[in-house]
Chains A and B, each alone.
Chain A
Amino acid sequence: MSVLLQLSDVQVRYGAIAALKGVTVEIGAGEIVALLGANGAGKTTTLRTISGQLHPHEGRIFFEGRRIDGLPAHEVVGLGIGHSPEGRRIFPRMSVLENLQMGAYRFGRARKDDLDRVFALFPRLLERRTQDGGTLSGGEQQMLAIGRALMSRPTVLLLDEPSMGLAPLLVQQIFDIIREINEQGTTVLLVEQNAVQALSIAHRGYVLETGSIVMSDAASSLLVDPRVRAAYLGEGAA
């Protein structure tokens, strides 16, 4: 398995506060990798750093063998890294279709087969394509956010808390779709607080704690690791 995306000893600071204290992560082509951790552990910061919205203070990021840290966000998208940001951040006053077209901004206009693919994954979006993004339900907005990221035809899809604020049934549905996207050939880096769900579809997982990676293993091993279960699955006392 070839390494597609690699973070080596990445440090990020917000002013004097160190948010990431040397994070090293490797993501192989075709994998689903889960990045777990509590609030404030640095999960979102990691994704934002990969997609160029933040720049590391130290360390390097490689994508397909090319160094990408320091590139501006819009160029990173152009390389094939799609980011569905935390809190969905769809364009509330654009229609569903316009939102998806914005996702394809790097190509100038949306390609028909990309739209067809997104609508096949999320038939609800097809029904609502003329509706304003802001009038969608939370789950539909999440679908739109993922769909929009897919429109840039990414090699790696960064998903920031796709299950946040969704009903359990919908969470299951979203995770099934993420697995499907992965089976279609897109590598996925998944940030989640919902550790059980994330690990159940991921191949491997990393655990972040206050800006450092404290554990990394196969997803199935993490799922049964007593420390993980204590810290993130609410089982027993640590």
Chain B
Amino acid sequence: MSAIRDSEAIRPPQSAGGGRSAWQRLRRNNNARKLVACIIGALVAAVITGPSGSVSHPTAGFTGALFHPRVIVFLVLGVLLWLAMVGRETLSENIKTVTAPISMARTRWLGDPKVRYSLYAALLIFAIIYPRSLSSFWQGVLVDQIGVYVLLAIGLNVVVGFAGLLDLGYIAFYAIGAYSCAYWTGALPIKPVFHLNPFVSIVFAVAAAMIAGVILGAPTLRLRGDYLAIVTLGFGEIITIYANNLQSVTGGAGGTNVVPHLSVNLLGLKYHWKLDSLPYYYLLLVFVVAILVMFRALENSRVGRAWTAIREDEVAAEASGVNTFKYKLLAFAMGASTSGFAGVLFASKVQTLYPSSFALTESILILVLVIFGGMGSLPGAVLGAAVLQWLPQFLRGKINQADLFLYLGALLIIMMIFRPQGIWPSRRRARELAMAEAGLTEADAVSGPTAGEVQ
């Protein structure tokens, strides 16, 4: 659509006659303006990623960045971005023709349960074998950065992707899980009623997170859309501030005492998790697979249909006999308990908890993982978390660490322009976006009812 508009904009306005200067025409030209914006953007990026100035040479940052051959790279990138924007329509058409057979094959193959399950099995075997060949650094990343966040993304996907509730304080439940584990294992300044093995503490921590989810959800789930987002945002902040300031309970900014590693001693089964990441990875893998299977079953059940209906139009869902409050609360509690569970694993893996691990940016990050992967899609949540959590580690040492978010931000913007539905969207979500492009409905999943207004 925009290509048509743009090509019209290239044509000089006929009614203008000779009255309009070339400069004015250029200024009204959409593509020219985009080019200028791209070049300015490239220069800004060159300055930001360039050397820093100092007190003695305050302009060194500018001169070092702009009068240096590397600026050419940025300009080329800027022009390429412009070309991509201008040619977006044709480009995405071309991409579609290239990928059409692939996506057709995908639907045909994945439609066949035999193929699908063998694919899952192959993936699982890969996930079991491959990490053994990694260095211990990457094994650590696989647990702390990827595994735990995959779990968090899967949980948030239920809340945001399935039920359409925008939860901006999701990290709070993760914190509650982690600090509960620390409490029951005696790592907090206040001593627990009775000491628990960290493995047993999972039950209590998950319960605590779930109860917190219900306590927060019961009064606030009557709110819709933006209001819910604000309340959950506040809740997330409250929990972080408590973790920071309740020194006598949480240890404050100085962190908790050492949380012991997990250990099992049950029915003859004895195992101690230690500093080594790999055993933690396998534990996570087991739980991730179990939770994925469970959520997939839920998605295709009566509960999943209720969630879809609520996301699409809450009033209509209610009028169809769906107990909207119950199902929203259920989604909230399931997300919270998954998050709390991830918190326990995180606590026993890293052993010392600091409130900074539970900041607002983490809530936003997890939401980004879900959106990047494809909202409402379980494989999408896994993929999104894996890719976006792996990338910063991969870039470590290759770029100035201070610029990390610049690159990630650029990636997200490009992603939102060219593939807003995420890497692996759910089928319904892909349809939603296609319809929104065609102007039939609104695209946002997390808004209130839309169906009434759209025609």
Q: Which residues of A contact B (CB under 8 A)?
A: 51, 53, 72-74, 77-78, 83-94, 101-103, 105-106, 108, 132-135, 138, 148-149, 152, 165
Contacts and interface: CB of A to CB of B under 8 A. Distances in A.
Given A88-B452, A93-B441, A134-B441, A83 B435 contact: no
B316 A152 contact: no
A93 to B, nearest CB: 5
A129 to B, nearest CB: 16
Contacts of B450: 92
Contacts of B440: 92, 134-135
B319 A91 contact: no
14 contacts: A53-B315, A83-B319, A88-B451, A88-B452, A93-B432, A93-B435, A94-B308, A94-B309, A94-B312, A103-B320, A105-B309, A132-B431, A134-B451, A165-B455
Contacts of B308: 91, 94
B329 interface: no
B96 interface: no
Interface residues of B, number: 31
Interface in B401-439: 428, 431-432, 435
B431 A89 contact: no
A85 B315 CA distance: 8
Contacts of B306: 105
B323 A89 contact: no
B392 interface: no
Contact of A89 (B324, B441, B451): B451
A105 B441 CA distance: 24
A89 B435 contact: no
A91 B451 contact: yes
A68 B320 CA distance: 17
B321 A89 contact: no
Interface string B179-193: 000000000000000
Nearest to A138: B455
Given A94-B308, A134-B435, 18 more contacts: A73-B319, A73-B321, A74-B322, A85-B452, A88-B452, A89-B452, A90-B451, A91-B308, A91-B309, A91-B451, A92-B435, A93-B441, A94-B312, A102-B317, A105-B302, A105-B309, A134-B441, A134-B451
Nearest to A93: B432
A93 B312 contact: yes
A91 B302 contact: no
Max count, chain A CB within 10 A of own CB: residue among B305, B318, B319, B449: B319
Nearest to B431: A93
Contact of B323 (A74, A83, A103, A135): A74
A105 B431 contact: no
Contacts of A85: 315-316, 319, 452
Nearest to B449: A89
Contacts of A93: 312, 428, 431-432, 435, 441
A103 B313 CA distance: 13
A73 B318 contact: yes
A74 to B, nearest CB: 4
B453 interface: yes
B98 interface: no
Contacts of B453: 87
Contacts of A101: 305
Interface in B318-361: 318-325
Contacts of B441: 92-93, 134
Given A77-B321, A78-B321, A86-B452, A91 B313 contact: yes
A90 B455 CA distance: 11
Contacts of B316: 85, 89-91, 102
A87 B428 contact: no
Max count, chain B CB within 10 A of own CB: residue among A51, A85, A102, A135: A102
A51 B317 CA distance: 13
Contacts of A102: 305, 309, 316-317, 320, 322
Interface in B268-321: 302, 305-306, 308-309, 312-313, 315-321
B237 to A, nearest CB: 29
A152 B320 contact: yes
Contact of A135 (B320, B435, B449): B435
A94 B322 CA distance: 16
B454 interface: yes
Contact of A74 (B302, B313, B321, B435): B321
A92 B441 CA distance: 8
Nearest to B433: A93
B328 to A, nearest CB: 12
B163 to A, nearest CB: 14
B247 to A, nearest CB: 43
B432 A89 contact: no
A31 B318 CA distance: 26
Nearest to B314: A89
Contacts of B313: 89-92
A63 to B, nearest CB: 15
Max count, chain A CB within 10 A of own CB: residue among B306, B312, B315: B312
A103 B316 CA distance: 9
Nearest to A86: B452
Given A94-B308, A135-B440, A89 B302 contact: no
A87 B312 CA distance: 14
Given A51-B319, A83-B319, A105 B305 contact: yes
A78 B302 CA distance: 16
Interface in B233-252: none
Contacts of B432: 93
A74 B323 CA distance: 5
A135 to B, nearest CB: 6
A92 B322 contact: no
A108 B321 contact: no
Max count, chain A CB within 10 A of own CB: residue among B313, B317, B324: B313
Contact of B312 (A91, A138, A152, A165): A91
Given A85-B319, A92-B451, A74 B312 contact: no
